[in-house]
A and B are shown apart, each in its own frame.
Chain A
Amino acid sequence: MSRRIVTGAHYGLRDWLAQRITAVIMAIYSVIAVVVLFSTTNFTYSVWRDLFAQGWMRVATLLFMASLAWHAWVGVRDILMDYIKPDGLRLGMQIAALLTIAAYLGWTIQILWR
């Protein structure tokens, strides 16, 4: 009989690596975002709207959110594996986390390409 836990980490190395790669992508975006925000002196709606109307900004923001989705999944899963011991509850919370992440991602696409 397999002793593997259904809610355990199945692909440790892949997720470990993914968490780090997505972290680097988000860090680069963060630096760009801070530079862009600090270089705008008069912060108005038209400046804000025009910023997100640009193709590169939309794609970069989507890349950031996709990275965040994967990164947060690994992080939340680690937290649940550490603190939530009953299998059923843990699985339920993992599903809730995944649905939340999927909703965040869908919402982001909706915001960016309205």
Chain B
Amino acid sequence: MSEAALKTPPRKRRPKYLNLQALIFEIRLPVMGWVSILHRISGALLFLALVWLLWMLDRSLSSEAAFERIRHYAGLWPVKIALLGLVWAYCHHFCAGIRYLLLDLDKGVEKGAARLSAWLVYAFSIPLAVLLGWKLW
């Protein structure tokens, strides 16, 4: 055997094309991809916000005066907006999670069905978040 055949061929240098502009403007994430990344972002957000939510639960159960203070605090508009954001995050995580449970059971794994169910996540989670937000205030 000749020596050349034993040598591994030099690895081809492939161009890397993953910069921020490409990620934001050029690479189009399909709807399933958006549901997926939003599932991750909403999960991280809820985890980080839990300290705040637990604090409100703690205060609201401690005394009547503290309950009224928390009620007043939750009525301030920046707090309202933050809470509404968390309500959305919960609804999205909930709906996308049910979709993943169904996918795990091999339900709707074909491309068309998966695309439809990804849209259904938005169709359920956004009105649900609006409904809950509207009902809470």
> Which A residues are within 8 Å of any B CB, using their own CB?
20, 23-24, 27, 30, 34, 38, 45-46, 48-49, 52, 68, 72, 75-76, 79, 100, 104, 107-108, 110-111, 114
Contact = CB atoms under 8 A, between A and B. Distances in A.
Contact of A20 (B44, B90, B101, B135): B101
B97 A52 contact: no
The secondary structure that dominates the B interface is: helix
Contact of B54 (A20, A27, A75, A108): A108
Q: Residue among A48, A100, A108 with the most chain B CB within 10 A?
A: A48
A49 B98 CA distance: 32
Interface residues of B, number: 23
Given A79-B40, A79-B44, A111 B101 contact: no
A30 B61 contact: no
Nearest to A82: B40
B47 interface: yes
A30 B94 contact: yes
A76 B101 contact: no
A34 B61 contact: no
Contacts of A20: 101, 104
B61 A52 contact: yes
A107 B54 contact: yes
B43 A75 contact: yes
A111 B94 contact: no
B62 to A, nearest CB: 8
A27 B43 contact: no
Nearest to B128: A34
Contacts of B61: 48-49, 52, 111, 114
Interface in B75-111: 90, 94, 97-98, 101, 104
Given A27-B98, A111-B61, 16 more contacts: A23-B97, A23-B101, A30-B94, A45-B60, A45-B67, A46-B64, A72-B47, A75-B40, A75-B44, A76-B47, A79-B40, A79-B44, A100-B51, A110-B58, A114-B61, A114-B62
